[in-house]
Amino acid sequence: MVMEPAEILESLVASLRTRGVTTGVIVRRHQLDELGQPGPRWDDDQPASLERVLIHLLQEYARYLGHLDIYTELVEGDVGDDSFATFGIVTFVATTPKKTTKPSPTRPRPTIRSRPTPEELREMNQRCTRFLAGVGRRDVSTLLATIPSDSQIDVYGNGGVVEQLENEVARRLGKEAALFMISGTMAQQAVLRIHADRRNRRSVIFHPKCHLDVREERAYERLHQLVAVTCGPATMPLTSEQLTSVGEPVAAVLIELPQRDLGGTLPEWDELVAQVVWARDNGAATHMDGARLWEAAPYYEATASKSIVDIAELFDSVYVSFYKGLGAIAGCCVASDRATIEELKLWRVRHGGRAYGLWPYAASALTALQLRGNRFGEYYQRAQQIARTLRRIDGIEILPYPVQSPMMHVRVSGPCDTVIARMLDIARKDGIWMFSGAYEVEGPTLQRFEFNVGDATMEFTIKEISELFQRMVVTSRR
C-alpha cells in the first residue's frame, strides 16, 4: 500500500478496517484447502491454499510487530509484549483506571516515550482515585469542604474566624500573638524588615537554598533593601560553626525547620540552640521559616523531648504555613510578641495583604489545623518505615537517611523521561498519582522526588509503596 502525503491516521485506520471487512467476506465464502489463482508477484510453483495465504498474512503482521519491538528495544532497552504501550502509541488513549491492578515487582511496566501536555497531565491526575503523597486530591470540592458554613467572617482581617485562627496558632506555639497573612512570601519579608529596622542593620543570614533568596524574586532586596548573607554550602544544612565565620553585624538569622530543599533535614537540638545563641550573642534577631514546623516537631519530641512550644521559644518570630503538610487552601501565620505583631499589621497593609475578607483562607486553615495538627507524629513514623523499605530497592536512595521528618527526597535511578513515563503509566493503569513530576533532574540517570508523607500516604501499605517505586526505577539489570 502506498501512503499519499495527505494521508492521516484516521484515513489509514478506516482503510485498514474496510480491507478487514472485505477479507472477512472472502474468507467466509471459501474452504481453507481451496487453491487460489496466483497473481503476477507469486513466484512459487504451486498455487497457494487459502490456509497458506492466511498464515502468510499472520506472519507479515507478526514481523511488523517484531520490528516495532526492535525499535522499542533500541530506544529504551526494554523488551517484551508491552511494546505498543511502550512505544507510546496507545498510552494516551483515555481509559477508566483500574483500581487494584497488581503491579509486578520484577518486570518493568510499559512506559510512555513522549512528554504529555499539561492538559493531559491534569486529566490523568483527575482520573486518579488514589494519591501517594501529602493530603491527596486537591480540588475545589475537597478544599471547599474545609470551610465550615457556620464560620464567622472577618472585616479586613479583624475578628471572626481569622482571629480564632490567630489565637489558636499563638496558643499552640506558646507565643503572645499571631497574625494571619495570605502568603509566607509576604509574611517573612515583612517580619525581617521589622527586625532590621529595629536594629538599624540591613543584613540577614540564611541558607543558600532559602525560599526568600531562590523563589521570591529577591523581594527582600528590592522592596526592603535587605542584604543577603548566605551561609554554608547549598548541599549541607546550616551549622553554628559556619555562623562564626560571618564577620559583619546582622539584623537577623533565618533558620528553616526543616530544610525543604535538603529533603527535610533538621539540626540536632543542641546544634539548633548553638545557632540561636550565636545570633543572640551577636545582637541579631532569630526568625524561623517554619513553613513545615508541624512536620519538624515530632523529631525534637523523639530525640530531645522538646515540644513545639520549646522550639518556638528559641525564636523571636515564627512563620508557619497552612497549605503544605496541613493541606488548607493557602496562607500562614507569623507568631511573635504582641509589639511585633502590631507592627506586622501595618506591613500587611503596605504589602496589600489586608483583603476585605480573609475568612475563607482562615476557616480552611483552622479546619486543617484541627484535622491534621496532631497527626504529624504518625506521618513521621510511617515515613521512617517507608524510608527503611525503599532504600533496600536497587536504584533507590533516600535523603536524608534516616529521615528526620515526614518528608524525604527519593532519588530514583533512570532517565528522566522514562522514570516520569513509568510514573504516568501507573497513573493511567492503576489510577494512582505518585508525584507531580521530577523535583529535580540530578543527572542523565538520576531523578529526585520530594515525598511528603501525609493522610493520603497512610492509605497505602508499605508493600504497595515499595512495589510502586520498583516499577519506576530503571536499573542496568533490567
Note whether 69 binds ligand PLP by CB under 6 A.
Answer: no
Q: Which residues contact 384 (CB under 8 A, 6 or more apart)?
A: 402, 403
Report the residue from 125, 164, 183, 381 that binds ligand PLP according to the rule CB under 6 A: 183
Residue 288 CA, chain-centre distance (Å), reads 23
User: Residue 164: enclosing H or E segment and its boundaries?
Assistant: helix 160-173
Q: Which is nearer to ligand PLP, 323 or 460 (CB)?
A: 323
Note whether 185 binds ligand PLP by CB under 6 A.
Answer: yes
Note whether 242 binds ligand PLP by CB under 6 A.
Answer: no
Name residue, grid cell 492503576. Answer: 430
Report the residue from 135, 332, 365, 383 that binds ligand PLP according to the rule CB under 6 A: 332
CA pseudo-torsion sign 167, 169, 174, 177: negative
Q: Which is nearer to ligand PLP, 211 or 351 (CB)?
A: 211
The beta-strand segments (E) located in 116-239 are: 130-131, 177-181, 203-206, 227-230
Which region, judged by CB under 6 A, interacts with ligand PLP, from 74-82, 125-133, 179-187, 346-354?
179-187
Q: Using CA atoms, how far apart are residues 230 and 238, in angstroms rounded to an integer? A: 10
User: Dihedrals φ, ψ of 453, to 5°?
Assistant: -90, 125
Q: Which is nearer to ligand PLP, 130 or 448 (CB)?
A: 448
88 Rama class: left (phi>0) / alpha (psi -120 to 50) / beta: left
C-alpha cell at 303: 530525640
Q: Which is nearer to ligand PLP, 207 or 372 (CB)?
A: 207
Binding mask 285-304 for ligand PLP (x = CB under 6 A): ----x-x-------------
Which region, judged by CB under 6 A, interacts with ligand PLP, from 59-67, 111-119, 178-186, 437-445?
178-186
Q: Which is nearer to ligand PLP, 332 or 396 (CB)?
A: 332
Note whether 211 binds ligand PLP by CB under 6 A.
Answer: yes
C-alpha cell at 260: 525543604
Between the alpha carbon of residue 283 and those of residues 243, 253, 349, the distances in Å are 13, 10, 28
Q: How many residues bind ligand PLP (CB under 6 A)?
A: 10
Note whether 334 binds ligand PLP by CB under 6 A.
Answer: no
Note whether 326 binds ligand PLP by CB under 6 A.
Answer: no
| 8 A C-beta contact, residue 425 and residue 104 | no
CB 379 to ligand PLP: min, Å: 17
Note whether 265 binds ligand PLP by CB under 6 A.
Answer: no
Q: What's the chain's length in residues? A: 478
Note whether 260 binds ligand PLP by CB under 6 A.
Answer: yes
**Chain contacts with ligand PLP (rule: CB under 6 A):** 183-185, 211, 256, 260, 289, 291, 321, 332
